[in-house]
């Protein structure tokens, strides 16, 4: 059974905009998949369905055998770690320690245990010593790592990242990619950056205008410039 | 000095930073209350309290210049707010400036207001210079302020920086296109920028709420609160309270 399965997912925004049209794909346990597509393709909208922040107009999303619905969001959110595009959206408490402990505390962990978990994760990501710092005192790269820490602390089965390397310099990208490679979670990464996608993932799911247009091995498409141009992607300048 | 670095002395090791944040907050309140309740005209006692606070600043390793600079803005505000006391409070006229009569009671109240403000402000500056805002929020929780209030404070503090950053970015972008030349145009620009920032803040609040929901938020922010109050801190606070209390009381007994 796939760990993550999206079946014929359709979604329309309240203003009537068709955001997703019949999207279907599955991700097996341990797989690392890149979600590619131009701006407005529906990538972020799709990601919001994976932990029940949006619910489908039709179709189904299943995480670890659990169909995502209003009644199962709590269980689903314990299994899916979603890292948002802007780390400032994810770091909303006065200190990093509180931000990272936020998830475990909501899952019923006691304060001492949550603090221990949070300190451990921050240490493992090279952010040890910054526990009492506020997010606005961090660099862009540190904020990205901190946002990742807020999710990793809950040991999700699936890690879902929305543009994890945007606004990062080359060193920051390398550091983040290295960290993600070392981890064993199933990974779904929405990105414009094909270099990052190639570094992390073997498989690519490509979206355009709310529909899934390609699902296959990443290496097969990165050298096909015509394919990339057609789908609004850019391998190299 | 940027408001982002107000707590630059929080990382400096000193007897003040060794105290539990809750007791630093209480100590500030004790000093401010002591100054506020001094008898009018108790200049020796006022000077004693002000001197005590300056000593505490030195103990906290805050340079005098830094302390005074940080107090300057609020003190100027107090100055303007209390200058009317000089001529509005009835009393014996002691001086005349142009057509304005300055009275003895007016001078007394003006001097007291400045002196008390100086002392209380100095204590407040020591607090915010040696205590990070997260510590202050935690201290307020320990002091049993309502959870909704401390949560709102924490969130507001965090996003104040985000909003100020956005405001600065928008203003910079506008200035680089030569917008805002002239006072009237600058005012209009400011209104547009503020409106844009408010719109963005609203959108950001929705995104942040989603991020909170994604991590299991179900209506209440649970804190990591653990009290750092120890016996030594309590004793030091009690000592401060005794000293301030004695000074204040003496202003009434020594008439």
pLDDT tens string A160-188: 999 998 888 888 888 888 888 888 889 99
Q: A220 near A193, Cβ under 8 Å? A: no
Q: How far is residue B127 from each of residues A66, A158, B20, measured CA to CA in Å?
A: 51, 44, 12
**What integer pLDDT is reported at residue A194 of this predicted model?**
85
**What integer pLDDT is reported at residue A234 of this predicted model?**
64
For B221-254, letters b (16+ CB in 10 Å) and e give bbbbeeeebeeebeebbeebbebbeebbebbeee
The Cα–Cα gap between B127 and B136 comes to 9
Sign of CA dihedral A41, A43, A48, A50: positive
The Cα–Cα gap between A23 and A128 comes to 41
The Cα–Cα gap between B86 and B109 comes to 8
CA distance B227 to chain A (A): 12
- Is it the case that residue A129 has pLDDT exceeding 70? yes
Nearest residue to B50 via CA among B139, B132, B130, B111:
B111
- Within a 13 Å sphere around the CA of B217, how many CA atoms are in the beta-carbon half? 21
Q: A100 near A122, Cβ under 8 Å? A: yes
**What integer pLDDT is reported at residue B31 of this predicted model?**
95
The A186-190 sheet, strands edge to edge = A80-83, A158-162, A186-190, A32-36, A203-208, A211-217
The Cα–Cα gap between A141 and A174 comes to 11
Per-residue pLDDT of chain B (255 residues; tens, 9 = 90+): 455 677 888 888 898 988 889 999 999 999 999 999 999 889 999 999 999 999 999 999 999 999 999 999 999 999 999 988 888 888 888 888 888 888 888 999 999 999 999 999 999 999 999 998 878 888 898 888 888 888 888 888 888 878 888 888 887 887 777 666 677 877 888 888 888 888 888 888 889 999 999 999 887 777 776 666 778 888 888 989 999 999 999 988 865
Mutate to test the interface with B, among A52, A82, A86, A89 (most CBs of B within 10 A): A89
A11 interfaces chain B, CB cutoff of 8 Å: no
Backbone phi and psi for residue B90, each to the nearest 5 degrees, phi listed first: -65, 150
- Is it the case that residue A148 has pLDDT exceeding 80? yes
Within 8 A by CB and 6+ apart from B156, the residues are none
**What integer pLDDT is reported at residue B170 of this predicted model?**
82
**What integer pLDDT is reported at residue A117 of this predicted model?**
95
Chain A residues close to B223, C-beta within 8 Å: 98, 111
Q: Which of A74, A82, A94 sits opposite B154 (nearest CB)?
A: A94
**What integer pLDDT is reported at residue B225 of this predicted model?**
66
Q: How far is residue B165 from each of residues A5, A88, B153, B160, B201, measured CA to CA in Å?
A: 40, 11, 19, 9, 12
**What integer pLDDT is reported at residue B226 of this predicted model?**
67
The Cα–Cα gap between A183 and A229 comes to 32
- Is it the case that residue A235 has pLDDT exceeding 60? no
Nearest residue to A228 via CA among A177, A194, A186:
A194
Compute the average pLDDT of residues A139-163. Answer: 93
Beta bridge partners of A208: A211
**What integer pLDDT is reported at residue A237 of this predicted model?**
44
Give me the residues of A, 129-148, that contact B with CB < 8 A.
Answer: 132, 134-137
Q: A63 near A80, Cβ under 8 Å? A: yes
**What integer pLDDT is reported at residue B4 of this predicted model?**
61
Q: How confident is the model at residue A222 (pLDDT cuts 50, 70, 90)?
A: confident
The Cα–Cα gap between B66 and A140 comes to 30
Quick one: tokens of B46?
Answer: 């006022």
Above 0.90 for ipTM, yes or no?
A: no
In the DSSP assignment, the letter for residue B61 is T
The Cα–Cα gap between B126 and A7 comes to 60
Within 8 A by CB and 6+ apart from A189, the residues are A32, A33, A34, A35, A160, A161, A164, A196, A197, A200, A201
Q: How far is residue A58 from each of residues A8, A26, A215, B185, measured CA to CA in Å?
A: 7, 17, 21, 51
Q: How many residues does chain B have?
A: 255
CA distance B103 to chain A (A): 49
Residue pointed to by tokens 């990601």: A47
The A58-63 sheet, strands edge to edge = A18-27, A4-12, A58-63, A66-67
B166 interfaces chain A, CB cutoff of 8 Å: no
A113 interfaces chain B, CB cutoff of 8 Å: no
* B41 Ramachandran zone, left/alpha/beta (phi>0; psi -120 to 50): left
**What integer pLDDT is reported at residue B6 of this predicted model?**
75
B225 interfaces chain A, CB cutoff of 8 Å: yes
Nearest residue to B126 via CA among B140, B116, B111, B136:
B136
The Cα–Cα gap between A227 and A210 comes to 18
The Cα–Cα gap between A121 and A99 comes to 12
Residues of chain A with pLDDT > 70, as a percent, come to 97
Q: A124 near A178, Cβ under 8 Å? A: no
A86 interfaces chain B, CB cutoff of 8 Å: yes
């Amino acid at each position: 059974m796939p760990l993550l399965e999206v079946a014929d997912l359709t979604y329309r925004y309240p203003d009537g905009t068709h955001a997703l049209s019949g999207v279907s794909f599955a991700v097996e346990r341990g797989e690392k998949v890149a979600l590619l597509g131009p701006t407005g393709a529906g990538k972020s909208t799709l990601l919001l369905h994976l932990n029940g922040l949006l619910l489908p107009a039709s179709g189904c999303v299943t995480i670890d055998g659990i169909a995502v619905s209003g009644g199962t969001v709590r269980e689903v959110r314990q299994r899916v770690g979603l890292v948002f595009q802007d780390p400032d959206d994810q770091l909303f408490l006065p200190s990093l320690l509180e931000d990272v402990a936020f998830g475990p505390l909501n899952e019923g962990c006691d304060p001492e245990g949550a603090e221990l978990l949070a300190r451990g994760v921050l240490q493992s990501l090279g952010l040890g010593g910054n526990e009492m710092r506020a997010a606005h005192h961090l660099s862009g790269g540190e904020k990205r790592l901190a946002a990742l820490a807020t999710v990793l602390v809950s040991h999700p089965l699936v890690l879902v990242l929305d543009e994890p390397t945007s606004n990062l310099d080359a060193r920051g990208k390398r550091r983040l990619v290295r960290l993600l490679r070392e981890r064993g979670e199933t990974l779904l990464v929405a990105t414009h950056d094909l270099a990052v996608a190639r570094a992390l993932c073997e498989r690519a799911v490509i979206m355009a205008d709310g529909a899934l247009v390609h699902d296959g091995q990443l290496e097969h498409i990165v050298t096909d410039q015509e394919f990339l141009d057609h789908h609004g992607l850019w391998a190299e300048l | 000095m940027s408001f982002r670095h107000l707590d630059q002395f929080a990382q400096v090791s000193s007897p003040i930073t060794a105290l539990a944040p809750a007791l630093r907050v209480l100590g500030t309140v004790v000093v401010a209350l002591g100054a506020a309740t001094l008898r009018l005209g108790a200049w020796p006692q006022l000077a004693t309290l002000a001197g005590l606070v300056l000593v505490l600043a030195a103990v906290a390793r805050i340079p005098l210049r830094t302390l005074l600079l940080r107090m300057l803005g609020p003190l100027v505000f107090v100055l303007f707010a209390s200058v009317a006391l000089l001529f509005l409070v009835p009393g014996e006229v002691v001086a005349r400036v142009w057509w304005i009569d300055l009275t003895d009671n007016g001078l007394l109240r003006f001097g007291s207001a400045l002196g008390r403000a100086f002392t209380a402000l100095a204590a407040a500056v020591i607090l915010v210079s040696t205590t990070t805002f997260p510590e202050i929020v935690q201290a307020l929780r320990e002091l049993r302020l309502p959870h909704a209030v401390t949560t709102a404070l924490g969130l507001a503090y965090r996003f104040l920086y985000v909003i100020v950053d956005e405001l600065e970015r928008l203003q910079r972008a506008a200035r680089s296109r030569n917008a805002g030349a002239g006072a009237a145009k600058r005012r209009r620009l400011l209104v547009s920028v503020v409106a844009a920032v408010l719109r963005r803040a609203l959108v950001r609040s929705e995104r942040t709420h989603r991020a909170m929901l994604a991590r299991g938020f179900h209506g209440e922010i649970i804190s990591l609160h653990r009290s750092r109050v120890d016996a030594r801190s309590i004793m030091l606070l009690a000592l401060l309270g005794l000293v301030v209390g004695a000074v204040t009381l003496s202003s009434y007994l020594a008439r």
